[in-house]
Structures are given as structure tokens and as C-alpha cells.
Structure 1
Amino acid sequence: MGQGQSNEEGPHLTTAQVSHELALKFAKRCFTPLELYSFQDVFKSLADHQDSIAYLKEDTIARFLEIPDIIGASSIIFQMISYLGAFPFGQDAPVVLGFEQMIMVVVIMTQRYQRVLKKGNRDRTKLFFRSLAVYDRGESQNNEEKPETNEETQKDEGASAIRSHVAGFTVDDAANDEEEEDDDDLALAALESLDAIEVFRHGDAPITQASIPSDNLKKLIMLLLLIAPLGTQESLARHAERLSGDQLESLRRTADNVLGAFVNVEKFPGVKIHQFNTVIPISFPFMFNGFNALFEHFLFSKNIDFTKRRDSTPLPPLDPTLDQPLLPQIGEILDLNVLSQLSFFMPGDTLFRRLRLLYSGGDAGFSMGSFETKVFNWRAPTILLVSGNRISDPPIGGQERAFSDTLPPKRFPDSSKSSHVVFGVYLSQPWHQTHKECIGDTDTLLFQLEPVHEVFHASTLNKDYVSFTKPPTSHAGIAFGSPHPKPKPTAGLPPHVSLGAVSLVLDSSFEFGVFTHNYTSGGGAFHNSQSRKSDWQDRFEIESLEVWGCGGDKEQEEQRQRWEWEEREAEARRKINLGTGDIEADRALLEMAGLIGGNRSGGSMN
């Protein structure tokens, strides 16, 4: 399979020969010798035989990977890998999953192809779409029979599509699908690596005629949520408790929220390529990462003892953290399924077994003082989650009316029919009270988890990311994506809260919140939605509010030490016997004690 041989024989190679050459190249470059030996042993132990052909069946793969029957995803995974096994000739799919075909599958599923092909996640995403999609044969036949489709017909079809979906889900329109026709970059790169580009033929059906059935995608999402925390060689059976009772219902609800990012299931039966390619890079960049650990099981044979070296000295455990709980405690909002949902757009190694509950309104009280006490000493990134139920329009109760009166008149409709909403913010910087300028940076994320999952990334121009202001500041509270409140209330009637184009605002009593998406204005500190190109606003009564610290024992110990230091400082202040009546002498005493002076304030002396 040398370069010279490829150059000489390239024009005469068949697709089968090219696939063979590519499988050899992948096996040599993407696996270590021990992994390749293990892969051979695993395949041999699992394979069925017909005549001289060894191959893997659907139930064999499902049993080996421990895919739970209750999810119903086994056939979907088999459909995927039967397509990927044909790489780079997708037109030959589905294929019998022989040894070389499974090399293609494992290399693509674990992203090891990047050791040979300099292509990114977007290209694998396109492959995944084709592997999951079904094709509308009727549409294909109609196109063959009527290649002269006139402009008038196209306009009618476009108008029908627009009329058929709920306002706000413009990603459902197929107007831009034509832009996705060139989706063979990864296959072309593979062939170029063999100097066999002339063998490539465009035999796949046009991708614009393909869609992923919504029901199939939901089942796959459920599996992806389940496998998201998998570590190297970790058995999926260890997470079986997530597949019963309330946890299973939670898994289904979470999958519905994720599915809602792709398609309005009430109006459309499937997901088109434009929707898939638009949503994943923004809201789900790590959605398929769970496949890496799952399919690496093929590279570890149970017949080989990996715990010892040739000198018989034991190797350290592959992942000593696996015995720690994924989440030390379940929150009112954050459970294992929502944690997996977060890992679809935040790196899993910063989440699983790495979160600590710093503040919960239900335990510590819904007040900014309690929030400050619990959260401000955490010196690592945090995740704030807030859930609630939408208030009526017009508001009914006195408190609802009072909150609504602080806001500009409502001009936008609710985001959805669902009354329950969950929003969140990822902040990489430590929290502190803001006076004139907001905190946060371009890593800050504003997101919605329910009823529709979506991530709103920070702008590099507008820096109104996060403000934390306490009374008597005008319209005190916590705001994300809104201009910093004025330091003092203005004379006369208080002005309305200034709401950013894409913003989340919580009032100072933590009773109410409002999320605004003003698409028309063009965005602010956070970018507009790319899938729901419309204006909406959700005003809600806060049900739960919690903040989670991203970090481990080290960060928790640092927080404990700062708490202890503050307690000692406060005790020292209480023990100082002032009462001399001489303010200047008292101030001098405090300066000698190191309690005021420099950048430290000991409070008012009056």
C-alpha cells in the first residue's frame, strides 16, 4: 500500500480495492499494535460466518455494546454503522459488516480518522446525517419525471412549507438545503490520501431528498444522553439505574427538549440536513462524543490482560475516578440526564464527577444575600440554572402585576405552548457584586434547556454579560445580556428595566424572571438564535434556582479556607473594643489591626 503503488495502480483500482487499501491505512495509522490485535480478537469472538465471510449481526453488536432494549436504538445504530462501513463509497451502503468494514466504523466513531485525514467534526456530522437519513423515493421519482419543475411550483412548495410550521422555527424551511449538496469532503480526503480520487463517483441520492425521522432521532438522543459520561472501558450496564422509573421518564423528557432544537415534531416528521448542520455546531458541538468511549470497546479484548506489563508489575487503573458518582447530589433542576444534556455543549471532563452544588434557593433561601454567601468564594467556573412557570398575560396576582410593571410593555409572544421553562448560564469568572461594569468574558454562555434546547454564545463586541446588583441600585437583581443598571434610582417614577436583545433577568427577590429574544434588533451581548428566527419573551415565576461549581476537591477546599478566613476576620472585628468616642483614634486602631486601609474597607465609622 505504498505511495508508489497507489500512483501506479490508482486508475485501475476498483472501489473494493480502494476500500481495502484505505482499511489497511486506517488500521496501521489509527490503531496501536495492541489495539489492532485486540480488535482482531474481539471481531473473531463475535463474528458469524456464511461461507467464507465473517461478519457481525445487529443483535451481536447491540449485545456487545450493551445497548438497552428499552431505548429501541439498536436498529438505528446498526443502520448508522452499516452506512459508515461503506466509507468512502456511501452509495454502496448498507454493507455487510466484515472485518475491514468494522475498521471504518470504529475509526469514524472514535474520531481516530483525524490521525490520517485533516478534517473536523463538521465532516463527521455530515456522515452521521447520511447514515441516519431515509430518502423520499417518491420525491426522487417526481424529480426524475419532472426535471423541468417551474418557478411557480417552487414558490407554491415554499409557501406551503412556511405556512405549515409554527412561527419561530424558520430552520424548518428547506430553502437553504441546496447549499449542503457538497457533503463529501471527508470521503474525498480519504481518496486523496490514496491518490485514488478518480475512483470516486457521486452515486448517493441527493441529500436534499433525505431526512432523519424524528422518532429515530429521539431514540438516538436518548442513547447519547445515556452514554455521554462513559469512560474508557466503562460498561454501559453501570448506568442501568437511569433506565427505570422516574429517571427513565426524565430521560425521555430531556430527549424531547433536545429534539426540539432540531424540529417542531408537531408539524414536521423529520430533520433536514440544513437543520442538522445549523443546530449541531452551535448548540451540540460535543453531542456525539459518547460514541468515542462506546466504540473503543472494540479495541479492548477481554482475553488480554491489560493490567500487567511484561515485567509483571501491575498498571495503574485506567480511570480511577469511575467509582466516584457522576453527580455528588441531585439538585432540584440538575439531575443525571440534564447533566448529560449540558455535556452536549460543554466538555464532559469539566462536568461529570466535577460539579459541586454551591447554592440552592430551596435550601439556602431565595435571596441575593444567601447567593452571595454561598457562591462568591468559588474561584472556578460556575453554572447557574433557573426553572419556573410562565406567568399569565396579562398578569393576575398582585406580585405578578408589580413585576410586570417594572418591565417594558410586552410586545413579543411566548416562546412555546409549554408553560415550564429552564434557562442557564455558564460563567468562567468568579462572581462578585458589580457597580458600573458587567463581569464575564467571551466564554460566557446563555442557554435554554426546556422546552427547547438552545445555546446563545457571547458576542465579542457587546460585553454586557453578567451583572449582580443589590438594592438600592435601580432594578437590582441578576441580569445576563442586559445593560448594567443605574447605580441609584432616578427621581420620580422608576424607569423600566433595560432588557438586552437576548437576555435573562432575575429580580432581586428571586421571585420572577424574564427571558427576551429580540431577533429583529440583531442581537446584543449574546447572539441571536439561528434556528428560531423570531421575537419572543417568556416571563416566569421562579420555581428553583441553583448554582453549581465546576471543579473538584481542590476548588472546594479553597472555598472552605476563604469561608474560614472571612469568619476569623468578622470575629476579629467583633472583639475590638472601640467605644472611645474618638473616630480618628478608632480608625487608627483598625488600621493597625490590618482591618481597614489599602484596598480593604472596614465599613462605615459613623
Structure 2
Amino acid sequence: MGQAHSEEVRSKEDITAELAEKFARKCFEPLELYCFKDNFKSLADNQQHIRYLKEDVIAKFLELPDVLNVSPVVFQMLSYIGAFPFLEDAPAVLGFEQMIVCVAILTDRYTKILAKGAATRRKLLFKSLAVYDRKMSEIEKRPASPTVEEGDEATKEAGSSGTTTAAAGRSHAAGFAVDEAGDDEDDGGVEDADDDELVLAALNSLDLNDAFKAGDLHAASTHGAMIPADNFRRLLMLLLLVAPLGPQETLSTYAERVRAGDALDGLRDTADSILSSLINVERAPGITFAQFRRILPANLPFLFEGFNALFEHFLFSRNLDFTKKRQQSTGGGSSSSVGSPPSSPPAIRRVRTSSSSLPPLLPDNKGHILNPNLVSQLSFFIPGNELFRRLRLLYSGADAGFSMGSFETKSSSSYHHAQGAEGIFTDSLPPRRFPDGSPAGRSEDRVIFGVLVKQPWRAAHRECFGDADTLLFQLSPVHDVFRASSVNQNYVSFAKAPAAFPGATASRHPTLRTLGPVSLVIDSSFEFGVFTHDYTSRGGAFATSAARRHDFQDRFQVDNIEVWGCGGDDEARGQRERWEWEQREAEARRRINLGTGDREADRALLEMAGLVGNNRSGGSMS
């Protein structure tokens, strides 16, 4: 009774301080906590005995580029998360305890205490970026069927383009993430019941009773909430910039990516491609939680990973000399009060890394398609440790020539050559029945498609290759990811005629080929291609889009094709040695003059030569 009564009268300030102390003790190393105290002491303003951080101070410390104008967005996010677990009190003054909570949550360190999944943190981030305006959010939910006036205009537009009204309405939003209006789930419902999972877990960790939780939690619902499109565009540009950021690596290292001109335009274009998968900016002013919840797990599961390294800057003090080792005990750092001034640092157990000594994100002066912005975009759905500073160009059509022979010479250990023409390729495709996939007004922009294949590339005349980790994706003008199916495993086929990429198979018809429901097909001359998204069929070897829930097809002329290997020097060396061994084996088999007509004798001869047996097939004996 006495314990329950004492819990009920504890103030919010006491609970926030207790939670911050628990985060500091459990989520940070003693040295990190010391550095955090030192940074906060040097950065904080003092007003009426309250020490807090201001927006401009945080922006300068994190080196947020002024040209992005993203500091107000970041400060809004921090002010909301800083109120945790009492989110109804947001925005919060960013004092010491509030910043401890922000850093623990934004670096994913809170999971050491609160065993909650990414979905709960994702919802907290949505609400920290959202504004509440029910009238604005209703714009997105206009009736799908046009009014009489709208129908007349649609008919006129359709008549001028030679299409039917139905086709015009169908293609109006092609390429955007937003479904036909009214299809989205309600923002609330069952989801609101789980709205405070992370908050409740935090209070449970402090052994607070249910009466307190039920009486004092009134966190804002997602009803009427949306992230303004311009705010999210600025945040996306920052996330693209910080995606490759390493521990203690300063953001100024990537200053050339935000220089005014082509560099900044390229960063903005990449952000717009991602934004197009979340919202139709011509129809709605912001991103609703229904869209955020549905699209991010499928297309952008690692979108906020860059925050880890960015906000870990608070855990490294620039005032410390990391070239010297201190002999003080580490025990004092964890047992002292979390809000006390920093004392002598514990023993140094980390080594400062120099960003200038790191290799570039991509090899210099190589590649015509892939650039640092697109690599960052890839890291939003492929783990960054498989991409950054591990990519090497294996094949570029612009440099090596657009032929299957050149492609295979650089990408696999087999050699073939074939040529084709646009007429042959076009004649081999079924009649067009889907609209373009590019957004309205951007149909002339280039499209960028890609495939992630973790198995060795090989000619596939009779069977497909690839595995469950194979990804088919689009980077521009709309960001989209199509994940491998567990039922249909015909992921990748590669043959001289026809040349088919994931999800497509050759037709029995002598002139027409069968396009997979979700497939990318390139002709054997690497001149022309077609991407098909048959949403009605619900997918084949690859799942349909979570963002664009309609049928579309992109037919295009190939401007360039590149193949990039993911791996370090050891992987590249091992692959090269394997290819060289395979070529030696093939050459040795060609030099052996069999022709005896006795299969057993021929096999014995190959075994004596060491070319078959011991798990070596030696190739076909027929």
C-alpha cells in the first residue's frame, strides 16, 4: 500500500529524471556518459538556473548544412522526443535529461532496456515530425470517383490524348505512392491501441503501477496528423547525406555533396524520388501515418539508420585527448548522478578515427549511373555495411561496350555474344496494356532500375538462379522495392535469346515472350528494356509494390548498364581466383582428345587428369 501510494504522488519531473538516469546507466558506456556531460556543459545556455540546448547550437554542433534548412525540422523532432514518456507535454525544453532520452532513442540504444520493435520507434518518429491539421489531411481522402465537372475535364483530356476516360483516370496518378483516393486505411483503429507501447514499456521499466499510466497518459493520436511534404524532403536530403556517416566522422566530410549547383540538385532529385513513393505532392500537402506505416517497412526499412552515427556525436567529446590513456577507474562514471558535472574521464578505451583516412564511398572517376546519392538511397533498404566503401565496378556498358559478351566477361566466368535490334525486341513483347509508371509531368525523366543478386552470376539456359534475398528495385523517378517471393523462385534468368532479368520467362510462342507479373527484361543487345508491374495478379517471383497499388509498365531505351560487386579486396581476390581456376579447367578439358566412343574409358582418362571425381563433374560427357 505504502509503495503504491508513493508511486502515485511522484511528479513527472521525478519520473523523467529517473528514466534518463536509467537510460544513461544502461545504454551508455562510462566514457560515453562522461563525453555527453562534457558536451552538454559546453553547449548549454543557462536561464533561471535551467540549462538547455537551443536550435542553432544543436545545428552547429551536428554540422547540419545551412543550405538544407533542416535544423527546424530536427529541432521539432528533438523537442517532441525529449518529452518522452509524457508526450502530451511536447514540445519539451531540451535540458540534460531530455537530451539523454533523445540520444538513447535516436541511436537505438534504448533497446537495451525497452524490448520493442522498430515499428514502435517508427511511429514515435512520425509523430515527432507531424503537424496536426485535420482539414489538410482530408485533402488526401477526396472521393475517388470524379464529380460531373471533373469527369467532363477528364473526358476532354482523354479525348485530346486519344485515350478513354477510364484510362485517363487510371493513369493520372501513375508512379506515385498514393493509391486511388479513399483506399488507405484509417489512421487510427487498432493501431491507436498500440500507440503508447514504447511509453508503457518505459514506465514498466520504472515499476510504475497501472493506475498512474491510465490516469496520466494522453499522447496525441495520429488522427489528422501528417508530415508536411517540404519538411520531409529536407529531412530526406539530410538522411541521404548522413547515411554513410561513421563513428566520429564529421558531416563536413561530405560538404561537396551539398554545394550549390549540380551536386545539390542531384541530392534534391534523389530525395524527390523517395518522396514520390510516399505521397502525391500534387494532391496532398503531407504524408499521413497510413502511408508512412505501409510503405516504410517495405521500401525504406533502414531510412533512419543514419541518425545512429549523427547523434552519437554527443557521446564523443572534442575536448578529450584520445592520444593519451588515463588510469582512473571506470566505476565512478556509472555510479555518479546522471546530472552531475563531468569529473575526470574514465580510462580511454576508444580510438578516434580520421575520416580523411577512409577510402571514398565509390571508386574515383568510375561509373556513370551509381553516385554517392544513389548509394545512400540503396542503404535505405540494403544494409549500409554491404555498400559503403565496399562497391567495385565490374562492368559499365559505356566503357566496355553494350554486348552480352562484354557483360559476361566482366560479370561472370562464361563467354557468349549476341546482338539485337529495337524492332526485334519490340515485336517479341506482348501488346501494351498498362500505362507508364512515371509520375505525371516527369515521364521524360530517366528511369533507374536495379537488381541485388547475392549468388554468383551465371548463364541460365535451363534454370533460374537467385535466392530469397534477391531484390528488384527502382531508384528514379520513383523509389520502390520489390521483394522476392517464397513461392515462385524463378528470380533471375540469363541467356542469349531472350535475355531475361528477374521474374520473366521465355514464351513457347516463337516471337512473343512471357513477361512476369513483376519483372524487368533487357534484350540481348542491352539496348532496350521493359519493366512490368501487374498489380492485379498480385505478383509472381517478386511481390507487388507497397507504394503503387496499380498496374503500370515502363518501356525504355537503355542508356547505360553497370554491374557493381559488393565486397572488399578479399572477396574480389577470391572471386578472381575462382574464375581463373574455372577457365584453366575448361581449357584443360578442351585440350584432351577423347573420341574413343567408350564412356567409361573417357571418364577414367578424365579422372587420371584430375578433372572429374573428388566433387568435380568435368562438364557434360554426352
Corresponding residue to 1:432 among 458, 464, 485: 458
Structure 1 residues 345-385: Cα deviation after superposition (integer angstroms, max 9, x where no partner): 0111110011111111111221222222211259xxxxxxx
- Equivalent AA in structure 1 for residue 127 of structure 2: R
User: In the TM superposition, what are the counterparts of 1:583-598 in structure 2 within 5 Å?
Assistant: 593-594=609-610
Corresponding residue to 2:546 among 530, 545, 553: 530
Residue matched to 2:270: 254
Residue matched to 1:104: 101
Residue matched to 2:342: none
Query: In the alignment, does 2:192 pair up with 1:181?
Result: yes
Residue matched to 1:383: none
Corresponding residue to 1:199 among 199, 207, 212: 212
Residue matched to 2:160: none
Alpha-carbon shift at residue 155 of structure 1 (Å): 9.7
Q: Is the 8 A contact 2:482 2:544 kept in 1?
A: yes
Q: Is the 8 A contact 1:595 1:602 kept in 2?
A: no
Q: Is the 8 A contact 1:377 1:559 kept in 2?
A: no
Residue matched to 2:405: 369
Question: Secondary structure of 1:54's match?
Answer: strand
Query: In the alignment, does 2:237 pair up with 1:230?
Result: no
Corresponding residue to 2:376 among 340, 352, 373: 340
Q: Is the 8 A contact 1:440 1:465 kept in 2?
A: yes
Corresponding residue to 1:413 among 435, 446, 449: 435
Alpha-carbon shift at residue 565 of structure 1 (Å): 3.5
The answer for unaligned runs of 5 or more in structure 2 is 152-168, 329-346, 415-419
Please report the RMSD computed on the Cα atoms of aligned residues, expressed in angstroms: 3.3
Change (3 A) 1:177 1:406: same
Q: Is the 8 A contact 2:144 2:180 kept in 1?
A: no
Q: What TM-score comes out, normalization by structure 2 length? A: 0.82
Structure 1 residues 522-574: Cα deviation after superposition (integer angstroms, max 9, x where no partner): 21111111221111111111111111111000011123323444565577678
Change (3 A) 1:120 1:435: same
Corresponding residue to 2:86 among 69, 86, 89: 89
Percent identical among aligned pairs is 55
Residue matched to 2:479: 453
User: In the TM superposition, what are the counterparts of 1:190-589 in structure 2 within 5 Å?
Assistant: 190-196=202-208, 197-200=210-213, 201-244=216-259, 245-310=261-326, 317=351, 323-329=358-364, 330-377=366-413, 399-416=421-438, 417=440, 418-419=443-444, 420-471=446-497, 476-483=498-505, 485=506, 494-565=510-581, 568=584
Residue matched to 1:166: 173
- Equivalent AA in structure 2 for residue 500 of structure 1: G
Question: Secondary structure of 1:559's match?
Answer: helix
- Equivalent AA in structure 2 for residue 478 of structure 1: A
Residue matched to 1:27: 24
Distance 1:139 1:581 in 2: 80
Q: Is the 8 A contact 1:171 1:274 kept in 2?
A: no
Structure 1 residues 202-251: Cα deviation after superposition (integer angstroms, max 9, x where no partner): 53443121111101000000000000001111111111111123222111
Alpha-carbon shift at residue 470 of structure 1 (Å): 2.1
Distance 1:314 1:132 in 2: 37
Distance 1:581 1:47 in 2: 86
In proportion to residue count, which structure has more strand? 1
Q: Is the 8 A contact 1:222 1:252 kept in 2?
A: yes
Question: Secondary structure of 2:457's match?
Answer: coil
Residue matched to 2:335: none
Q: Is the 8 A contact 1:595 1:601 kept in 2?
A: no
Q: Is the 8 A contact 2:386 2:567 kept in 1?
A: yes
Q: Is the 8 A contact 1:171 1:531 kept in 2?
A: no
Alignment: residue pair count: 559
Change (3 A) 1:320 1:599: farther
Question: Secondary structure of 2:46's match?
Answer: strand
Q: Is the 8 A contact 1:166 1:267 kept in 2?
A: no
Q: Is the 8 A contact 1:11 1:199 kept in 2?
A: yes
Alpha-carbon shift at residue 253 of structure 1 (Å): 0.7
- Equivalent AA in structure 1 for residue 225 of structure 2: A
Structure 1 residues 440-464: Cα deviation after superposition (integer angstroms, max 9, x where no partner): 1111111111111011111111111
Q: Is the 8 A contact 2:141 2:181 kept in 1?
A: no
Residue matched to 2:617: 599
Structure 1 residues 437-488: Cα deviation after superposition (integer angstroms, max 9, x where no partner): 21111111111111110111111111111111124xxxx21320123x37xx
Change (3 A) 1:190 1:589: closer
Change (3 A) 1:194 1:577: closer
The answer for unaligned runs of 5 or more in structure 1 is 143-153, 379-397
Distance 2:7 2:495 in 1: 68
- Equivalent AA in structure 1 for residue 369 of structure 2: I
Distance 1:284 1:308 in 2: 42
Q: Is the 8 A contact 1:354 1:552 kept in 2?
A: yes
Change (3 A) 1:511 1:44: same
Distance 1:577 1:157 in 2: 74
Distance 2:390 2:47 in 1: 48
Corresponding residue to 1:41 among 21, 38, 45: 38
